[in-house]
Structure 1
Amino acid sequence: MALILKGSIKLYHYLNEDIVDERTRDWFLIGSPWPALALIIFYLFAVLKWLPNYMKDRPAYDLRTVIAIYNAFQIAFCAYVVYYSLRLGWLANYSLVCHPVDDGSHSVDYAWKVCYGYFAIKLIDLFDTVFFVLRKKQNQVSFLHVYHHFGMVAVAWGMVKWVPGGHMTLLVPINSFVHIVMYSYYLLTICNESYKKSIWWKKHVTQLQIVQFTILLVHFTVLAVAPDCPCPRIPAYILIPQNLFMVILFSDFYYRSYIKPNKVKKEN
């Protein structure tokens, strides 16, 4: 038992002290894993227990104005992150095959405007679930939805702490672009109810999610097998199964939502 405890303490210091990026170690919520972990746990209790219990005997809230403002803010913030990720990295000097954690003249700007900005977006994304519960749409608080949201907070936090630049950060512009499309769709449905009846919109947003995770799966696999690459590979070993899992989950959702119903209709 003492050996396990000693090993756990050693691993904690290694992850939280020895291999952190010195530029970001003192940034808000990054220095220690406990505040971010506490936020994730609070989120899980809030959307799975506290808020559903609170809403049990109450009517659904009308949050259309709040959600419209929220969606517009998300579109703008995601566009900001995409712009700087391309300007400072992926359209400047970043390599798609192997690019180490950047330490050039724009590296701190990239870490702050792109990686930390992305982390902030993932925290704000958690309100998606809160809005579902307050509108009494608990059926949309699925395992896929909740897992994806708190999982991306963890991924973004790890990026800022350990690899705030380079190969691993391609997920920032790709995922943020997908969210621009997604929140644009949500904003349209708030402004015009008829868009909710348009299946093809929702269908293509899901397809875009699947394409996104497939591209990232390939991208991280390239890093894992690239010879003589100075970029840390351990994050790739973590994100390869993570993205594969997401491809499977979103593909299963796509099948159950859009393919299976059509099969049932044809059979009837």
Structure 2
Amino acid sequence: MVAWPPAGITVVPEDMILGSLSKYVMQPQYVLTIIFTYVILVHVLQPPKEKSTVSRIEAKKSTKDIGKVAKQNSALTAFIFLHNTFLCLYSAWTFVKSAPLVYKVFTTEGVCDPNNVSWNSGMLEITYLFYLSKYYEFVDTAIILMKGRRVITLQTYHHAGAILGMYLGCLFIPTQIYSFVVFNSFVHTIMYAYYALTSIGFTPPGKKYITKMQLTQFFLGFGVATVMSFFEHCNQFTKVLATSVNLLYVIPLVSLFLDFSKKTYKKKAE
């Protein structure tokens, strides 16, 4: 059994929202089992390429015969809208709660927070819930499969890697993980608002800018976390380990996002 929370943390997990789940989700055997199960299920449940559908938006924007268009009943539409709205509101809550706290602690205790003031002042619960939200985001993949569409490698890697990265961030509590929580929650607020609107038939402009925002957060987070890892109290082995895994995860992720952006927006331009 892995002990959690680590030394120096006064927060009792059972007192946190969904804290009772920590005895499972903070143990590596459960985390790895869930990740591998997710990847395998995506592979098994993928529709064949010749039977894969396309979204209504893709069909509207294309002038070519691009295959079967996904049919969506009202119940599924309502579910998708509520799902995206929930993640939009939750992400906004996370950003509003975390950004001021991180700023306050960084300016009073230093960026590495050697006395764990931020963690004991609410950041542990915020980060823990953000970690749990990465499991809930599996629903994004389920929705794609329910529509009869294929799941791209970017999404599978993104969801699986985010869980591992956030798990290590919660386990070893490096303050470097704050850059991921704050930046990602901000971007997700906008992204899921966009998805909520598209799910009910609106097609607001600016999707390519959301992709650019995602890439920007990766570059910013990568730079901030890398620099912080050289500071005293941020350079402990376990904290650097957790940070390094996240940084290694981001490198292929950026490549996949760039490839996605090139294929998607170049195709639309043509």
Does 2:136 correspond to 1:124? yes
Residues 226-257 of structure 1, C-alpha deviations (whole Å, 9 max, x = no match): 46755532223222232222222211211222
Find the partner of 1:81 among 81, 84, 94. Answer: 94
Q: Is the 8 Å Cα contact of residues 224 and 237 (structure 1) preserved in structure 2?
A: no
* Structure 2 length-normalised TM: 0.76
Unaligned runs of 5+ in 1: 1-12
Find the partner of 1:184 among 179, 189, 193. Answer: 193
Find the partner of 2:6 among 21, 35, 45. Answer: 21
Find the partner of 2:229 among 224, 227, 234. Answer: 224
Equivalent-residue separation in structure 2 for 1:177 and 1:233 (angstroms): 25
Equivalent-residue separation in structure 2 for 1:156 and 1:228 (angstroms): 20
Identity of aligned residues (%): 22
Equivalent-residue separation in structure 1 for 2:189 and 2:118 (angstroms): 29
Which moves more between the two structures, 25-34 or 239-248? 25-34
Q: Which amino acid aligns with 2:208?
A: K
Which moves more between the two structures, 28-37 or 94-103? 94-103
Tell me the C-alpha RMSD between the 2 structures: 3.1
- Shift of residue 143 of structure 1? 0.7
**Compared with structure 1, are the counterparts of its residues 101 and 243 closer, same or farther at alpha carbon in structure 2 (3 Å cutoff)?**
farther
Equivalent-residue separation in structure 1 for 2:115 and 2:83 (angstroms): 32
Matched residue SS, 2:112? coil
Does 2:228 correspond to 1:215? no
Which moves more between the two structures, 116-125 or 27-36? 27-36
Aligned length: 237
Task: Give the corresponding residue for 1:49.
Answer: 44
1:103-252 to 2 correspondences below 5 Å: 103-104=116-117, 107=120, 109-112=122-125, 114-138=126-150, 141-163=151-173, 166-191=175-200, 193-195=201-203, 200-226=205-231, 229=234, 232-252=239-259
- Shift of residue 261 of structure 1? 5.6
Equivalent-residue separation in structure 1 for 2:118 and 2:244 (angstroms): 29
**Compared with structure 1, are the counterparts of its residues 32 and 101 closer, same or farther at alpha carbon in structure 2 (3 Å cutoff)?**
farther
Q: Which amino acid aligns with 1:36?
A: V
Task: Give the corresponding residue for 1:93.
Answer: 105
Which moves more between the two structures, 125-134 or 26-35? 26-35
- Shift of residue 76 of structure 1? 1.5
Task: Give the corresponding residue for 1:35.
Answer: 30
